[in-house]
Amino acid sequence: RTAAERADRPDRLPEDARLLVADVLADHLAASGLPPAARLKTLLTDPALAERHLGGGRIREAMRRTYRAFVTSDSARASYRALLTELGTPGAGPLLFHCTAGKDRTGWAATVVLALLGADETVVREEYLGVNPAVRQAF
């Protein structure tokens, strides 16, 4: 999650847990000014604010830029590399990874992991889209 998201809602860790911060969007937010997912809920509660930031196709273009940044920005590549390195470390133990909404950054991470583990495209797609009802309810 971004620094602002972590400040707004800090992680609560079990006593023996180790925190690994992987800010996928650090470079992208600095370059694009896109509001982080943590602000999406606020934006959607105010129709005028939502229209100003998201209307007129701006949300589609913003999400396209964001998803592209998952594979092109230095911070995203470093973050996903850290996740995959941690997953591949013998004896590292269980790993919980998350973002704010649980769909975009986390969804891409889960997609990459499932693909590396050999899941077929149907399973990967079902898993990725499977969070849509919960995300809709949350927002």
- Residues labelled catalytic: 99
Among the listed residues 99, 134, 87, 114, the one whose alpha carbon sits nearest the alpha carbon of residue 11? 99
Q: Which residue has the tokens 């196709």?
A: 57
| DSSP-assigned letters across all residues of 22-54 | --TTHHHHHHH-PPPHHHHHHHHH-HHHHHHHH
Q: How far apart are CA 122 and CA 56, in angstroms?
A: 32
Q: How many CA atoms lie within 13 A of 64 on its CB side?
A: 5
Enter the tokens of residue 98: 């998350």
Among the listed residues 7, 69, 80, the one whose alpha carbon sits nearest the alpha carbon of residue 38? 7
